[in-house]
Amino acid sequence: MTSSRAPERTGSPASARASAPPLAVRRWVPAALLTVPVLFLAAFFVLPVSRIVALGLAPDGQLELGVLGRVVTDPAVRRVAWFTLWQAAASTLLTLVIGLPGAYVLSRMDFPGRNALRALVTVPFVLPTVVVGSAFLALLGPRSPVNDLLVALFGDGAPTLDLRRTVTAILVAHVFFNYAVVVRTVGGLWAHLDPRIEDAARVLGASRWRVFREITLPLLRPAIASTATIVFLFTFTSFGVVLILGGATRATIEVEIHRATTQLLDLPLASALALLQLAAVVAALAVYGRLQRTAATHRLVGATVGVRRPRTRGERAFLGANLAVIAGLLVAPLLVLVERSFVTPTGYGLANWRTLVGTQPDTLLAVAPWEAVRNSIGFGIAATVVALLVGGLAATAATLRDDRVSGLVDRALMLPLGTSAVTIGFGFLIALNRPPLDLRGSPLLVPLAQALIAVPFVVRTLVPVLRSIDQRLREAAATLGARPLRVWREVDLPIVGRAVLVAAGFSFAIAVGEFGASVFVVRAQLPTMPVAIFRLLGRPGVANFGQAMALSTLLMLVTASAILLIDRLRVGQVGRF
């Protein structure tokens, strides 16, 4: 009886459907998931950018390509393009060299204040570049604390350190901004690697360097490639840092686009430079596509499993060296901002902070300063929801079906990172002014512009983790009769939940601190904190500058608190595995 029933159960229609899902379903699901990301990209990136470029190259309705030839053959433009390229490559390499050890320390080493430090290192990434540029001018200029220390040590004859208007200042500032990208993206995956694999190699006699080179590095390669691409795109399109720290002798393509748009009023030149920048970004993404490899399948563990206290003298020295780097590279500029927030025309005091919490409207901001804080938080939450929806669907589709279409959408979603914020901001105003997308003057433009920048971070954070999930887990669930949605909910989501929270934290931080596109689309009655800071910095006077520094300090506190909360947040079993 028993032997006759077994074949009958195995050959049942339900079993056949579970073990071999129809091919049509497998093809339909990724295509459906990509619908929202494609529509989002088309409506809020392709349309605005194409309209502003078309307006510049065809102002009278007829295409004029002469400006393209002038841009390509102009020696001055070639010098700007070369400087843009090599400083971005150098900044990316330097960020990885300094950031990877930090990613290991913050993902694998346990020490007091670790969670707070993880939140702190993300703060520089969301600060407006105009604020950070001012802080670095004070930190690297002739009146910096470093020079005060040199005078205290060596007397009045001590050498004066002045790195203003130098490439060194630009590179250091780029590392300051992008250090968090390495820590959060690479460290997010590193925290989930099973440490027993490395321990087994060490027991067999492999050195630490060999274990890292032959075991850890191949597993981290997708996350490192993703991080390098993001950092390169950010530094390639660097604007505020180069404008403030580079001076008139150094400019990136982004700076030239801004100058052509706002000073020369030469929209054709700006459009041609935007196309040149976009072509370089597409080339960089093509190289990234060749370097990116599907992550090797390996067992993932909980984020706390691999965390250990430093045991040996070498480990403690390694931890101390990285903490010193974080203190000197990240904390020192932030402390400069905090110190300046208490500077008033009559000395140190709380006058700047009292102005922020006042209820009287500011004549320049048109609202009370505290309302800018409320606006930023509200816009940030909305942008985070949009970014998680669009980026989550794109990342899931890319891992369910790793074909050319999914890869193309994956890389296309990164294009906004390499596109001029000036182009996107003006494009929003020009293109989104007629039905069915008549959003000109709508507050929705702000979170949409912020989400456009945040989506690539969601995709880059989720894809390496999703691709690391053992496919046999999904196949086992399907064999037991689970439909694709249930497989995703009960297999993928508990594993990738932690990465979703990391992506949410990054999205919110990016949205709260986004400035480049927001400054063009934000309404006068709804300023965000970065826009308010920029407006305050544009007014002369010690009091206005102090208020800008106080608002910058508040922006740091909001960002750090949000990321620290998300690091601790759990929803049921999501994030625990």
pLDDT of residue 40: 92
Query: Pick from 56, 414, 85: which is nearest to 260 by CA?
Result: 56
**What residues have CB less than 8 Å from 425, skipping those under 6 apart?**
449, 516, 517, 518, 519, 520, 521
- Contact 147/163 with Cβ under 8 angstroms? no
pLDDT digits (tens, 9 = 90+) for 266-319: 777 778 888 888 888 788 777 766 665 544 455 666 666 667 888 888 889 999
- Averaged pLDDT of the chain: 78
Enter the tokens of residue 302: 């909980």
Q: Which of 215-219, 242-246, 387-391 has the highest mean pLDDT?
A: 387-391
Two structure tokens written together for 432:
């989104």
Which residues does 116 contact at the CB level (< 8 Å), separation at least 6? 560, 564
Give alpha helix (H) positions in 74-127. 75-108, 114-120, 123-126
Region 327-335 average pLDDT: 86
pLDDT > 60? residue 2: no
DSSP string, 243-266: IIII-TT---HHHHHHHHHHTS--
State the Cα torsion 80-84-86-90 to the nearest 10°: 150
pLDDT of residue 15: 42
Q: Please indicate, yes or no, whether the overall pTM of this predicted structure exceeds 0.85.
A: no
d(CA 413, CA 419): 11
Convert 432-489 into a string of H (helix), E (strand) and C (coil).
CEECCEECCCCCCHHHHHHHHHHHHHHHHHHHHHHHCCCHHHHHHHHHCCCCHHHHHH
Give the domain ranges of the chain.
Answer: 70-127+166-250+284-340
Residues in the chain: 577
540 C-beta neighbours (distance < 10 Å), count: 8
> What's the pLDDT at 175?
92
| pLDDT tens sequence across 459-480 | 877 887 777 777 788 788 888 8
Whether the per-residue pLDDT at 245 is higher than 60: the answer is yes
> CA dihedral in degrees (143, 147, 149, 151; nearest 10)?
-100
When pLDDT is cut at 50, 70 and 90, the band that residue 154 belongs to is confident
Instruction: Tell me what pLDDT residue 365 has.
Output: 64
Beta bridge partners of 300: 193
pLDDT for 235 beyond 50: yes
Q: Mean per-residue pLDDT for 492-517?
A: 81
CA distance 528 to 127: 12
Q: What are the C-alpha distances in Å from 33 to residues 24, 39, 40, 308?
A: 14, 11, 12, 39
More confident residue, 310 or 60: 310
Instruction: Answer yes or no: CATH 3.40.50.300 is held by domain 70-127+166-250+284-340.
Output: no
More confident residue, 523 or 291: 523
- pLDDT given at position 360: 64
Measured CA to CA, the distance from residue 327 to residue 343 in angstroms comes to 23
| pLDDT of the residue at 96 | 94
Within 13 Å, how many C-alpha atoms sit on residue 475's CB side? 5
Instruction: Judge whether residue 65 has pLDDT over 80.
Output: no
Mean pLDDT on 535-563: 79
User: Which is more confident, 71 or 483?
Assistant: 483
